Chains A and B, each alone.
Chain A
Amino acid sequence: GENVEQHPSTLSVQEGDSAVIKCTYSDSASNYFPWYKQELGKRPQLIIDIRSNVGEKKDQRIAVTLNKTAKHFSLHITETQPEDSAVYFCAASSTDKLIFGTGTRLQVFP
């Protein structure tokens, strides 16, 4: 089955800097790659997703890139703000179920 690895596990940045989180997946049939943000004690919320027919997608300060050959995808957050502090999860899906990475705890210091 699918296996998703995520790095780093923790990431601290200064407000205004960029943050990059990387994931790799094992199942070459995977075709859907979402990113979820989870604040402390809250539910995971979808922030951006990409499907295998595109290589990059951007939504304001957030972008995701996908390299299907290398089987990895990345989340880029520019101009980080303190409210970006949360745990971020990547996921991959080849069938109807999502397999999640282990999460990255992002801290943005003012």
Chain B
Amino acid sequence: NAGVMQNPRHLVRRRGQEARLRCSPMKGHSHVYWYRQLPEEGLKFMVYLQKENIIDESGMPKERFSAEFPKEGPSILRIQQVVRGDSAAYFCASSPTTGSGANVLTFGAGSRLTVL
């Protein structure tokens, strides 16, 4: 089991460009979560998705940020018109649907976005 796979691991963008971060959940997991971690800070919840559905996006900024988890392929976190304040590590996590493992999040290695 390859675990939660995130790419790219490092991404550099200039202000105003777009950033796309991808996440493939663990095999058998159908729930995907995105968290943002600023340097020296904690993990802030952004969005929770199931296949083709956004379940909870209460932590997503209202503008420029969007997320999807299509029927086929990885989940994508998209940041449009990036600003310096978007520089952070973006962690994806996945969990099983039901059973004793529900809520147990396994994290990917993270994607570190740097905005110049």
- Residues of chain A touching chain B, judged by Cβ–Cβ distance below 8 Å, are 1, 32, 34, 36, 42-46, 49, 89, 93, 95-103
Chain B interface category by residue count: 20 to 34
B69 at the interface (CB under 8 A from A): no
Q: How far is the CA of A36 from the CA of B107 in the complex (A)?
A: 10
B22 within 8 A of A: no
A44 touching B91 in the complex, CB below 8 Å, given contacts A93-B103, A98-B45, A98-B105: yes
Cα distance A1–B48 when bound, in Å? 15
Contact for B56 among A36, A49, A95, A100, CB less than 8 A: A95
Q: Which of B31, B43, B91, B108 contacts A96 (CB 8 A)?
A: B31
Q: Which B residues fall within an 8 A CB radius of A?
A: 31, 33, 35, 41-45, 48, 55-56, 58, 91, 95, 102-110
- Which one of A95, A98, A99 has the greatest number of beta carbons of chain B within 10 Å? A98
Interface of B is mostly: strand
From A1, A43, A45, A101, B42 is in contact (CB under 8 Å) with: A101
Indicate if the CB atoms of A97 and B42 lie closer than 8 Å: no
Q: Which residues of A contact B31 (CB under 8 A)?
A: 96
Known: A1-B58, A96-B95, A97-B56. A45 touches B107 (CB 8 A): yes
**Contact indicator B103/A32 (Cβ below 8 Å):** yes
Q: In the bound complex, do residue B91 and residue A43 qualify as a contact, i.e. CB atoms below 8 Å apart? A: yes
- Please report the C-alpha to C-alpha distance between residue A43 and residue B44 in the assembled complex, in whole angstroms: 14
Q: A43: which of B48, B95, B110 is its contact (CB, 8 Å)? A: B110
Tell me which residues across on chain B come within 8 A of A100, comparing CB atoms.
35, 42-45
Question: Across the interface, do B104 and A49 meet the contact criterion of CB distance under 8 Å?
Answer: yes
Q: Return the contact of B48 from the options A36, A44, A49, A97 (Cβ within 8 A).
A: A97
**How far apart sit A98 and B95, CA to CA, in the bound complex (Å)?**
11
